[in-house]
Amino acid sequence: MPDGTKPKPGGWNRFAVEVTNIGEFAAQLRKAGVRFRNDIITGVGGKQVLIDDPSGNPIELFEPILPEARLNTH
C-alpha cells in the first residue's frame, strides 16, 4: 500500500462491491468517517479503492470502465 503497509495473513482477503461514480461515493464515505486504505486508483478495467468495515476487514469498491469488467455478468 502507499503507506508501506505489508499484507498479513487474513488481512487482505476481501469482496468487491460495484458502484457508480466512485469519486462521489468515496467523498460521502469519507464525510461519514469511513477509513480508507488507499486513494482511488484506475486500472485497465476500472477504478477501485479499499475501505475498512467497522471490524477492520477490507472491502473493495469498484467502478468498471469496460463493460466486460462488470462484476455482475448476467
pLDDT digits (tens, 9 = 90+) for 25-52: 999 999 999 999 999 999 999 999 999 8
Q: 74 in a domain, yes or no?
A: no
Write the pLDDT tens digit of every residue in 55-72. Answer: 788 899 999 998 787 877
DSSP line for 6-59? PP-TTSS--EEEE-SSHHHHHHHHHHTTPPBSS--EE-SSEEEEEEE-TTS-EE
- Residue 11 counted as domain residue: no
Domain count, the chain: 1
Question: CB within 8 A of 36, min separation 6: which ones?
Answer: 26, 29, 30, 49, 50, 51, 52
Q: Is residue 42 part of a domain?
A: yes
Residue 1 lies in a domain: no
Position 8 scores a pLDDT of 62
Per-residue confidence (pLDDT) for residue 1, from 0 to 100: 76
Q: Are 1 and 28 in contact (CB under 8 A)?
A: no
pLDDT higher than 80, residue 22: yes
Range of the domain at 53: 37-69
In a domain, 46, yes or no: yes
